[in-house]
Chain A
Amino acid sequence: MFEFPKQWDIPLADWIDRLMDWVLTEFADFFDAIGIILLKVLLSLENFFLWLPWFLVLILVGILAWRAMGRWWYGFIIPGLFFIIGCFGYWDMAMMTLAIVAAAVIISLIIGIPTGIVMARSNLAENLIRPVLDAMQTMPSFVYLIPALMLFGLGKVPAVFATIIYAVPPVIRLTNVGIRGVPESVIEAAEAFGSNPRQILFNVQLPLAFPSIMVGVNQTTMMALAMVVVASMIGARTLGLEVLLAINRIEIGRGFEAGLSIVLLAIIIDRITHGFAVKQQKSYKI
């Protein structure tokens, strides 16, 4: 009497399963192609990162940190953090993590920036895309592992795929916000001198939105790193996998080392990308 009536049950799970089946059979080739592209990008990045001599990496990170934050001592502190990761014995693991993050971020930007531009230029597009982004950002991250797993099986490719989906919203959002935030008076002046829409986009809107886009890149990168760690659950060999193994075997020390390495990596990436974003903002003074 007081129980929820059985006949009102909606078999949503069933429907989704059937939809997935249908997608998998109908679009198999399509997803295969995507999988191959993702794998290509990823493997070349991974090979490259692993090939790089460790000291060269430290020097590069040092230069980047110094350029981004404008203080010479960061050129030593930030690579120092990286050095510690190496001392824990996770150098290669960190490099593989970075490769997946880099692949996911690059593809996210390739997808995200144009999407953000479209969104900024049409209110209709904004109204359509915004709720999707909202939904994507409220979803717990491991939810994305399920479709990734179904489409691409276990391994690195689904990890990259899930990471892209999880990490792409900020760069879309902030590209949109950045372009819409360009003062109307500046656009008007550019129009008054006969700029066409393309000239306005490349001469005015994108450069002025750049600081905002850089903030988006920073956020996207941080989210990618977080997701890559989670994605170790579907078999991506990253630092997250170490934590996962440590949990399973109750090896507290090992888990701590791996966890700390992730934190250090996060700090390094965040400080550098954040530094570049702030630098851009300062130089335009808008």
Chain B
Amino acid sequence: MVKGDYQRIIRHCIKGEEKFMEHKKTEPENSETILRVEDVWKIFGKDTDVRNLLSSDIRNASKEEINKTRCVLGLRNISFNVRRGEFFVIMGLSGSGKSTLIRCLIRLINPSAGKIIVNNEDICAFDKEQLMNFRRYTTAMVFQHFGLLPHYTVLDNVAYGLKVRGMSKEDRYERAREAIETVGLKEWEDYLPSSLSGGMQQRVGMARALAQEPEILLLDEPFSGLDPLIRRQMQDELVDLQVSLQKTMIFVTHDLDEALKFGDRIAIMKDGEIIQLGTPEEIIATPENDYVRDFVQDASPAKVLTSGQIMKEPDLLIHEWQGPQATRHMFRSAKDEFAFFIKRNREFVGIITRNDVRELARKKQGALHDILITDVPVCGPDTIVEELFPLATSSPYPITVIDENKKFMGIIYNHTIIDSMYQDTEVE
């Protein structure tokens, strides 16, 4: 099991790396630093309280200790560099301060202490005007909850950053249209965001950021609100984008798979601190402490994949109005030993085996209901693969995936589970 994990994870890394290799080769090993974060702190609370706290010894106490004062610890002692063209991933569990950190980088949240140096300028020292221009021309951000303007069409949303710059309508629409085409939403230009699906809305968010042609692209869990299939697809597209654009990207996620897929380097955060920073291999091979080790172990596909993701289409679906002869006929052209019996509204009833049907058809009397096996294992689409093991071993029949209304969704054979452990998730 453990071996399988590692193989898969390493394969992940290699896969990600391969794609980057091409452009990485064209760049010098230590290309210039575009972003340097030096000893950044963020304490939430009243100004005076925060100042007192930072100048006292409590600053080094644990997060719990600090939160006993009137302040809340957001970030502590954060330092790292990002090279031009690098894909830098910030990873951590919920509440570890990832969003706080990425927001500090463009001062949506003002750091309480420290320096953030972009292109040799400390943005913490910027006045309002400089900060506006920095946000307008140097960075662009993609948000977990999209942050689209609900009253603007897709086109206007994508053009918004350019409008803020004061660009003329024609120019900004032209560039926005290009960006929209890049994310594949050409036909949707004139729709409002509310008429788009989540995945499409996030494409709009991406297009809006891309239209800025920023030096640094900031992404705060851009895919975590999307369902798994769309998510994987958009991840792949982002990898492609990164290869073609070679933008500096800072990517926040709580998902190790995502981090390994993208990251040139990964920073793992806990309680507002970076506890390990390194390449994906370094992090997997030599986890700094138990926290990181747990994280890495969590990447076991059995703990990550769900039944909905690995389920297959059945060979044979039998509807309740079909008779034994028709069923037997259908079995002839199918490979499977089982057929799945559903009602008119797709509600799953049970399984029929090839042998039983043959018997029934030969006897020429009785209905399919007589040979229906209803005592079969079932699960919902969100069941984690690990929880399928007992189901799979306790019954000779395949597991049927049904939704909350008992509607048939797909099936899982024992070999499906085993395949999912070894197959790379990218293979559809």
Contact = CB atoms under 8 A, between A and B. Distances in A.
Interface of A: 185-186, 188-196, 199, 203-204, 207-208, 284-286
B354 interface: no
Most A CB contacts (10 A, CB to CB) among B140, B149, B151 go to: B151
A285 B194 contact: yes
Interface in B75-131: 106, 108, 128
A193 B143 contact: no
B237 to A, nearest CB: 21
A99 to B, nearest CB: 34
Nearest to A191: B108
Contact of A185 (B135, B136, B139, B147): B147
14 contacts: A185-B143, A188-B143, A189-B148, A190-B149, A192-B139, A193-B136, A193-B160, A195-B164, A196-B128, A203-B160, A203-B163, A208-B150, A284-B151, A284-B194
B34 interface: no
B135 A193 contact: yes
A203 B149 contact: yes
B355 interface: no
Contacts of A193: 135-136, 140-141, 160-161, 164, 208, 212
Contacts of B135: 191-194
A194 B147 contact: no
Contact of A194 (B149, B164, B194): B164
Contacts of A195: 132, 164
Given A192-B108, A193-B136, A285-B192, A186 B161 contact: no
B136 A194 contact: yes
Contacts of A204: 149
A62 to B, nearest CB: 29
A191 B143 CA distance: 12
A194 B148 contact: no
Interface in B142-182: 143, 145-151, 160-161, 163-165
Interface in B31-74: none
Interface of B: 106, 108, 128, 132-137, 139-141, 143, 145-151, 160-161, 163-165, 192, 194, 208, 212
A8 B140 CA distance: 69
Nearest to A197: B128
B195 to A, nearest CB: 9
B150 A186 contact: yes
Contact of B147 (A189, A203, A284): A189
Given A185-B143, A285-B192, A190 B160 contact: yes
A188 B164 CA distance: 14
A95 to B, nearest CB: 36
B161 A185 contact: no
A284 B161 CA distance: 21
Contacts of B212: 193
Nearest to A187: B147
A185 B164 contact: no
Contacts of B128: 196
A284 B132 contact: no
A26 B185 CA distance: 66
Contacts of A284: 150-151, 192, 194
A285 B145 contact: no
A34 B376 CA distance: 84
Given A191-B108, A193-B212, A285-B192, A207 B164 contact: no
Contacts of B165: 194
Contacts of A286: 150
Given A193-B140, A193-B160, A199-B164, 4 more contacts: A185-B143, A186-B150, A188-B108, A189-B146
A190 to B, nearest CB: 7
B150 A285 contact: yes
Contacts of B132: 194-196
Given A191-B135, A199-B164, A208 B141 contact: no
Contacts of A285: 150, 192, 194
A186 B149 contact: yes
A286 B149 CA distance: 10
Contacts of A191: 108, 135
B162 to A, nearest CB: 9
Nearest to B160: A193
Contacts of B194: 284-285
B6 to A, nearest CB: 39
A193 B217 CA distance: 12
B143 to A, nearest CB: 6
Contacts of B136: 193-194
B133 A194 contact: yes
Contacts of B148: 186, 189
Given A193-B164, A285-B192, A186 B133 contact: no
Nearest to A208: B151
A196 B131 CA distance: 10
B1 to A, nearest CB: 41
A192 B106 contact: yes
A61 to B, nearest CB: 28
A140 B137 CA distance: 56
Contacts of B151: 207-208, 284
Contact of A186 (B106, B147, B192): B147
Contacts of A185: 143, 145-147
B44 to A, nearest CB: 15
Return the 5 tightest CB-CB contacts between A and B, nearest first.
Answer: A189-B147, A194-B136, A194-B135, A193-B161, A285-B194
A188 B147 contact: yes
Contacts of A203: 149, 160, 163-164
B172 to A, nearest CB: 12
A193 to B, nearest CB: 4
Contacts of A188: 108, 143, 147
A284 B128 CA distance: 31
Contacts of A190: 149, 160, 164
